[in-house]
Amino acid sequence: MIKYDAFARAMINFNTLKNGKEEVNNYLELKFKNLTKKTDELDKFKKNKKEYSIWSEKFQTVQKMSGILIKEDKNNTDKDYLSNYIKKLPLHSFIIQAKFKLKQPYFSNDDDEFYIIQNPVLKEKAFKVPMVRGSGWKGALAGAFKELINEKDNFNEKKEVIDSYLRIFGAGSDSIKTIEDYLQSKNGDLGKFKEKLLEFILFELGMRIDKNLIDEINSQNSYETLKDILYKKISEKLQRDNKDLPIEFQTHKGRAIFYPTYFDRLSLEVINPHDRRKRAGTQPIYYEVVPEGTEGLLQIIYIPFDAVLKENDVIKKEAEKDLENLTSAIEKVSQNGIGAKTKLGWGTFELIDREKYYCINGDIEGTRWGKCQG
């Protein structure tokens, strides 16, 4: 497999050109002088099914710099390393690590303005290693959580998943802030509050909205009746003063930290749109992708930092529920895919059974995944 180091390869070509008949004045000329031949080169690349691999030393360096917990001592296993690390975290914290293998290519568009093709895959800024951002994992898992909410038929079951969602991901959207501000001061715009209430129920809670609910909210003319609808939809548990939202629904940071995933291989895919009349390809579109079969590592660290005033039994139950929901959401994302072009099946992956586990600081139970003792 070809080692991928663009600068090293360019310097080799540069020296070859200088020693041969053809000469270039500088590195920029070398880099851009043959762009007119890029179509032929890309076709040849795809035809030969070439793949590039990232230097292993560079790959491991960027993982460590991002905080991904990988063993440094060859005599220890990954589980031993995680078990030692989890002991430094507060009680009932846990770490999820899952190795996976791509079933289809992964693509997420990079923001590189000048590249040999129009669709480069997302890469880390300094080391140029293909990656999935932590925010990408957070968004995909949040979407999977909303599917879990809609799968529940019982209101109490929905409420449990919603509470878990807000503990893990936090709350900070405009709709939540508008509702929170309005509850603190009743002088806001009632019409705007109605709009944000519907947005909150639909987009943040992931609950279905029908015509009856819309008519019910629009027909209300007082703060008190809207407040009753809000509490009925999101929680039955109010704070002591009966004025504010439950603490889980106030603007706050989530307990989970989502880490990036890095890949060590690159390849190309081609999408060739066909003319409807001629039924022939028009202009091939090239995508730089992480090829299927590439392995990656997903890491999530959960720290119940906002539960210091709660009883240990309460924190334990919350952590158990959050762990169960997180692992279920990861399994859903593996089927739905991560990144762009998921409607084409891209980004789907298979979790490696022996390499998906969690480490806990406490006695949390309740998931099918493997466990390393914390």
Say if residue 60's pLDDT is above 70.
yes
Residue numbers of the domain that contains 243? 173-250
Percentage of the chain beyond pLDDT 90 is: 21
Domain identity same for 123 and 207: no
Quote the tokens at residue 254: 């989530």
Number of domains in the chain: 2
105: three-class secondary structure by DSSP? coil
pTM above 0.75, yes or no: no
Class of residue 51 by CB neighbours under 10 A (exposed 0-12, middle 13-18, buried 19+): middle
**pLDDT band at residue 253 under the 50/70/90 scheme:** confident
Report if residue 168 sits inside a domain.
no
Predicted local distance difference test score (pLDDT) of residue 133: 93
Domain identity same for 102 and 200: no
Say if residue 24's pLDDT is above 50.
no
* Cα 220 from Cα 226, distance rounded (Å): 7
Domain identity same for 235 and 285: no
Exposure string over 229-239, b if 16+ CB within 10 A, otherwise e: bbeebbbeeee
Contact in structure between 54 and 4 (CB atoms under 8 Å)? yes
What is the DSSP-derived secondary structure letter of residue 249?
Answer: G
Contact in structure between 90 and 303 (CB atoms under 8 Å)? yes
Class of residue 18 by CB neighbours under 10 A (exposed 0-12, middle 13-18, buried 19+): exposed
User: Among 202, 231, 250, which residue terminates a domain?
Assistant: 250
Report if residue 359 sits inside a domain.
yes
Domain identity same for 75 and 108: yes
Q: What is the mean pLDDT of residues 215-234?
A: 75
Domain identity same for 210 and 350: no
Q: What is the pLDDT of residues 328-363, one digit of tens each?
A: 999 999 999 999 888 888 999 999 988 888 888 888
**pLDDT band at residue 136 under the 50/70/90 scheme:** very high
* Beta strand 295-302 pairing with 265-271: unpaired
Quote the tokens at residue 82: 């995680």
1: three-class secondary structure by DSSP? coil
* Cα 97 from Cα 297, distance rounded (Å): 7
Q: What is the pLDDT of residues 26-49, one digit of tens each?
A: 444 444 455 445 556 555 555 555
Domain identity same for 229 and 260: no
Neighbours of 358 (CB within 10 A): 23
Contact in structure between 299 and 139 (CB atoms under 8 Å)? no
Mean pLDDT of the chain: 76
Domain identity same for 345 and 309: yes
Lowest mean pLDDT among 102-106, 149-153, 317-321: 149-153
Greatest mean pLDDT among 43-57, 82-96, 145-159, 182-196 lies in 82-96
User: Among 250, 276, 307, which residue terminates a domain?
Assistant: 250
Contact in structure between 266 and 288 (CB atoms under 8 Å)? yes
* Cα 226 from Cα 216, distance rounded (Å): 9
Say if residue 316's pLDDT is above 80.
yes
Predicted local distance difference test score (pLDDT) of residue 78: 63
Lowest mean pLDDT among 103-117, 193-207, 287-301: 193-207
Domain identity same for 132 and 260: yes
